[in-house]
Structure 1
Amino acid sequence: NRSRGQNPLHLVSAWAARQRLVLGQQACAEKSNEITAIPELLERLELTGARVTIDAMGCQTKIAAAIRNKGADYLLALKGNWPALCAEVERFFADAGPDTCQHHQSTNNDHGRLEIRRHAVCHDVGWLTSDRRFPGEWRFKDLAMIAMVESETIRGAKTCLERRYYLSSATLTAQQFA
C-alpha cells in the first residue's frame, strides 16, 4: 500500500520446474535487488547435483561461484549486463564453423504460431578463461560451456528472430541444453 508508505514485497523464488514446486523464497532487502537476495536463497537450499538456471540478473561471478561451491551446476542467461562478454559470445556464434559447435533443432507448432528453435553449444571455452586475457577480469567458476538459442517465430506473414546466450558449468549436449 503505497499510500501508507508500504512498498510491495519483492521476492526471489527457487522453482523446481519438473516438479512444479517452489523450493524456497527470499525477500529482497529494501533498496536492494535480486543480486543480493539470490546468494542468500542459494545458501539455504540443498543443491548438490542440481542444475541451477537463472536469468540475466543472476549472471554474476559470485552467484556462479556460490552455486558451484554448493555442488551444483549453473546455466546463466547472458545479456547486456556483461556487454564485452556478451559481444564476444555473440561474435563467436556468428563466426563459428559447422564443426565448432554441437547443434540441435526443435519445432513447436502451437498457439497459432510456428516456433523453430536452433540450439548450439560449445565446450571449447578456453579462449574465455585463458591467461592471455587481462588480469583482474571476471571469472565464472568452472565455466565449461557457452550456448545459444536462436528462436524463429512465424505468426501468419510475420517472422521474428531472437538469439539468447548462456554460460554453463555443465557440459551438456545440444539436445540436453534444448
Structure 2
Amino acid sequence: MSPGLEQLARTSSPQPLPDAVDLVPFLAGLPDPRSRRGRRFPLTALIAAAAAGVLAGARSMTAISEWISDAPRWALLALGFPFDPFTRAVTVPHPTTVMRLLSRLNGDAFDTSVTTFLQARARGKQTKEGCRLRAVAVDGKQLRGSRTADGKAVWLLAAMEHSGTVIAQREIDAKSNETSAFIPLLDGLALKDTLVTADAAHTQHANGRWLREHGAHYIAVVKGNHPGLLRQLRKLPWADIPVDHKDRTKGRGRLEVRHLKTVTFRHLDYPGARQALRVMRWRKDLASKKITIERLYFVTSLPPGAATGEQIAGWIRGHWKIENQLHHVRDTTFAEDASTTRSGSLPRVMASLRNLAISIFRQDDHTNIAAACRYTARDPQRPLTALGIR
C-alpha cells in the first residue's frame, strides 16, 4: 500500500486520545529472558502485539500469531516492530518466537506491569459514587488444561475491583493453597478506603487483622470452618432485629428475594469486627416451582453508619462478579479451560493477557465481552487505541 493510501486508511479509524495511558512504558521495565544475541524484536513490541491480538479475540498462541501476521504495516510500526530500510518491509516474528518469549516471562513482574497499567487507565474513568470505599473481590481459579512441572494444573488467585478491573494476580504454589496466598496477593497495594470481600476460605483471623492494620475494611462470610463464630452469630436475636434492606431479582429461570439484617456487636470473635450481618435468601425455581431458603452470616469491620444497607447488600452480591464477569468469561469467551498450553509460564501469561482484555472492556463500559472482541477485531486500530498506543 502506498504511504498516501495507508494514511487515508488510518484516518477513518478512531484515534487514541491525547491523554490515553500507553501500555508500552509499563512493559519497559520487564526483565528480558532472552540472551542479548537473540533479541531481534523489541520485548515491548512482542508483548503489546500479543495483548492486541487477545483484545481482538485471539484464544491461542496460533491466533495471536495470525493477528500479528495480518496486521497492516502502520500497526506493526506503531507496535514497535523493526523497519528494514532496504526492503521497506516490517519484519514480523515467527509464531514460535512469540511463544518462547511469553513462556519465559517472569509471571510476577508481568502481572505487576499489567495491573499497574489497568489501575492507571482506570483513574481517568472513575465516577463519583455514594460511598468513598472501593470494593475489591478476591477469588481463585484453576487453569484446568494447564500443567506445571509436577503435573498439577496452574492455580491463580486474583483480586478484582467490583467495577471489573483486575488489580492483582498471583500463582499459588503447588504445595500450598489459596489461604496462604491471600496476604501476599494484596501486599503492596494501596488498601486505604478499600473494602475486601472473599469466600469463607479466606475468613482467617490473620487476614482480618492484616487488613485492618493496612487500613482496609472487610466483609467476611462465616461458615463451618469457624464453628464457634458461626454458633455465636446464629444465637443473636435476629427475630428482634429490623430488616435493613430488601431486594428482589428475577433471571436465569429463578426468582430470588433477599433480606439483609445488620446489628452492632462488640464481642464478635474476629479481629476488628464491628457488625454482624445476616442475609436470608428465598429462591424459587420457575420451572420446578421448588423453593429453597438459605441463611448466610457475615462479619464486617465497617462501623455502624459507614454504609447503607443497600450498599452492604450490593457489596455482598458484587463479590461474585469476579466469578461471573472474569473467570467465567475467560472460560467461555477465551476458552481458557480448554487450552492445553503447558510451556513454562505461558498459561499464567495468557491468563494475564485475558485479564487485561476483559478489564479494558469493562472500563470502556462493554457488558458483552464476546461482542467487544468482535468489534475490536474489525479494525486493527481499535486494539491499539484501547492500549493507548499511538
TM-score class, shorter-chain normalisation, is 0.7 to 0.9
Give the drift of 1:101: 4.8
**Structure showing greater Rg:** 2
The question of 1:126 aligning with 2:261 is answered no
Partner Cα distance (1:76, 1:101) in 2: 21
Contact 1:119/1:147, CA 8 A, preserved across alignment: yes
Contact 2:148/2:154, CA 8 A, preserved across alignment: no
Secondary structure of the structure 1 residue equivalent to 2:296? strand
The question of 1:50 aligning with 2:194 is answered yes
CA distance change for structure 1 residues 87 and 55 in 2, over 3 Å: closer, same or farther?
same
Secondary structure of the structure 2 residue equivalent to 1:126? coil
Q: What whole-Å deviation, never above 9, does each CA across 1:94-138 have from its counterpart, x for those lacking one?
A: x3243x355211000222211001111111x1243xxxxxxxxxx
Secondary structure of the structure 2 residue equivalent to 1:121? strand
CA distance change for structure 1 residues 109 and 3 in 2, over 3 Å: closer, same or farther?
closer
Report what 1:36 is aligned to: 180
Counting aligned pairs with the same residue, the percent is 27
Residue type at the aligned position of 1:96: W
Give the drift of 1:91: 2.2
Q: What whole-Å deviation, never above 9, does each CA across 1:118-164 have from its counterpart, x for those lacking one?
A: 111111x1243xxxxxxxxxx52221111111110111321011111
Name which of 131, 138, 143 aligns with 2:273. Answer: 143
Residue type at the aligned position of 1:9: V
Any residues of structure 2 matched to 1:27-106 within 5 Å, and which?
27-92=171-236, 95-98=237-240, 100-106=241-247
Report what 1:131 is aligned to: none
Report what 1:135 is aligned to: none
Report what 2:309 is aligned to: 174
Contact 2:277/2:297, CA 8 A, preserved across alignment: yes
Any residues of structure 2 matched to 1:158-173 within 5 Å, and which?
158-171=290-303, 172-173=307-308
Secondary structure of the structure 2 residue equivalent to 1:14? strand
Residue type at the aligned position of 2:218: Y
CA distance change for structure 1 residues 8 and 90 in 2, over 3 Å: closer, same or farther?
same
Q: What whole-Å deviation, never above 9, does each CA across 1:20-52 have from its counterpart, x for those lacking one?
A: 111101221221111110011121211110100
Structure 1 or 2: larger strand share? 1
Q: What whole-Å deviation, never above 9, does each CA across 1:65-95 have from its counterpart, x for those lacking one?
A: 1111111101111111001111221222xx3
Size of the aligned set, in residue pairs, is: 163
Calculate the aligned-residue CA RMSD, in Å. Answer: 1.9
Give the drift of 1:3: 10
Name which of 236, 247, 257 aligns with 1:116. Answer: 257
Partner Cα distance (1:48, 1:175) in 2: 22
Partner Cα distance (1:5, 1:168) in 2: 39
Unaligned runs of 5+ in 1: 129-138
- TM normalised by structure 2 equals 0.40
Report what 1:16 is aligned to: 161
Contact 1:147/1:165, CA 8 A, preserved across alignment: yes
The question of 1:153 aligning with 2:283 is answered yes
Secondary structure of the structure 2 residue equivalent to 1:143? coil
CA distance change for structure 1 residues 66 and 3 in 2, over 3 Å: closer, same or farther?
closer
Secondary structure of the structure 2 residue equivalent to 1:39? helix
Partner Cα distance (1:81, 1:152) in 2: 24
Structure 1 or 2: larger helix share? 2
Partner Cα distance (2:239, 2:147) in 1: 54
Residue type at the aligned position of 1:108: T
Off by >6 Å, runs of 4+ in structure 1: none
